[in-house]
Chain A
């Protein structure tokens, strides 16, 4: 009997020792939040709830935390609300997304200084003059398990992330794969190795074959909705769609320093039934931000038509981007009256609320004419609003919604050369819906059209569009 008891005790002790070696690492990850601040209280509640179960939970972002929500992007310090909310939720780390650079190197440096979490990005060189000191790697001790992270941001042919070139002035980047390979040593010193990626799903799948030393890729950039985790080349890849619709809970099981299990599940953030009340209070504060009543310019006379407001919008894009001609689809002008007095940030966001990007292209006069007709055909609101030119539009008598002809002149009445090439600026919606043939489809200037209008109004100080009209319409006789 005594022998049996001793054997049972030994078995229990061995079992206990074995379970002590098997540990779990829990990670809550998001990507491409794009400043969806109204879902942050739900994300905070999810983090709170998981921390109750797993006190060593890591909260991680795969980049593009900002850009996409005016409440955040147009704050006095752009993107400050997201940084504060991420601090409150207790984020441990983020990598750089291409949009982290949207307020320039100086803006990024300030935000990094305010952040209570690490920026892990191995292919961004430090820029001490801006206070930018990204970490190439970070090793977290999670309940005795060493979890190593290495991060990287996508770079284009110009070896910069996709943002306005001015935003990355003074910063330098390195190729992704070549850089990552320098951190293979993480495998030797860590139990778990995670690549925090902002290069997009396709690129993650491709690169996984070159990173056999990585256990998990927490990805971002392509806004890809992966249902949990997917195995590619024995590397698990996770990513969720953008704007905090979902997040991922990843569980990594480690036994005696070796990864023996990886699983990931999606948690719905947008419809999560609980909210962290304190985070909600802060979101409410940011949502009622008096900064949106900031006066950008004074209207000395009321603006009383879509035409006037459209002229102002396209003037703004043309002047601020150094273009010859500005064009917007009429549906992009969201109201037709603004009383004399202050023109505020809020007025701009109501006028141009879609978050459209600014696109610049080089068009011949003929291509421009076809472009305008094409927008007119595909936008249900009729002929576009323009700046820098005058359009005399003849509508078809048999089909009053169809443009029969457009005669373009310069504002002083002089002849417009259809063979010459002009710099044309428009919004991304118009550039997309106009399917007329043209040699240059243009390029995204990586600035929202609304932000350019704000800049224009601030530069103007006072504006008066009384009597301004750039598009005149008549109906054909036949």
Chain B
């Protein structure tokens, strides 16, 4: 399943959640997995979504570090 986080496309297991996409993005960008809890996740419309939000193929999400 391919998902885009902050314009970076990451490939994940089927049934992955928003936190998994952000974790992969963070390690891909060498920012460190621990940053997951220092930010917020938003959908393509700009709504905040939870860490456990289910994802679908091709979904676009954004992660913003807030702390």
A contacts, CB < 8 Å to B: 32, 34, 68, 98, 162, 200-202, 205, 221-226, 241-243, 357, 359, 361, 378-380, 428-429, 431-433, 435, 441-444, 446
Which residues of B lie under 8 Å from residue A202 when comparing CB positions?
Answer: 43-44, 56, 59
Residue of B nearest to A375 (CB): B27
A429–B13 touching, CB < 8 Å = no
A201–B27 touching, CB < 8 Å = no
Give complex CA distance A293, B13 in Å: 34
B interface SS class: mixed
Give complex CA distance A359, B53 in Å: 17
B53 nearest CB across to chain A (Å): 4
B50–A433 touching, CB < 8 Å = no
Give complex CA distance A320, B2 in Å: 29
A384 nearest CB across to chain B (Å): 14
A435–B27 touching, CB < 8 Å = yes
| A224-B53, A242-B52 as given contacts; A441 in contact with B13, CB under 8 Å | yes
B13–A443 touching, CB < 8 Å = yes
Contacts of B14-67 to chain A: CB distance below 8 A: 14-21, 23-24, 27-28, 33-34, 43-45, 47-50, 52-54, 56, 59
B contacts, CB < 8 Å to A: 1, 11-21, 23-24, 27-28, 33-34, 43-45, 47-50, 52-54, 56, 59
Which residues of A lie under 8 Å from residue B18 when comparing CB positions?
Answer: 223
B54–A221 touching, CB < 8 Å = yes
Give me 17 other A-B pairs in contact (C-beta within 8 A), A380-B34, A446-B15 excluded: A162-B54, A200-B56, A201-B47, A222-B43, A222-B53, A223-B50, A223-B54, A225-B48, A225-B50, A242-B52, A359-B13, A378-B27, A428-B13, A432-B19, A433-B24, A441-B13, A442-B14
Of the candidates A98, A200, A431, which one forms a contact with B13 in the assembled complex, judged by CB atoms under 8 Å apart? Answer: A431
Which residues of B lie under 8 Å from residue A68 when comparing CB positions?
Answer: 52
Give complex CA distance A125, B42 in Å: 34
Give complex CA distance A223, B23 in Å: 18
Of the candidates A225, A379, A428, A443, which one forms a contact with B20 in the assembled complex, judged by CB atoms under 8 Å apart? Answer: A428
Of the candidates A32, A98, A432, which one forms a contact with B50 in the assembled complex, judged by CB atoms under 8 Å apart? Answer: A32
Give complex CA distance A404, B48 in Å: 41
| A241-B48, A441-B12 as given contacts; A223 in contact with B20, CB under 8 Å | no
Give complex CA distance A200, B59 in Å: 12
B14 nearest CB across to chain A (Å): 4
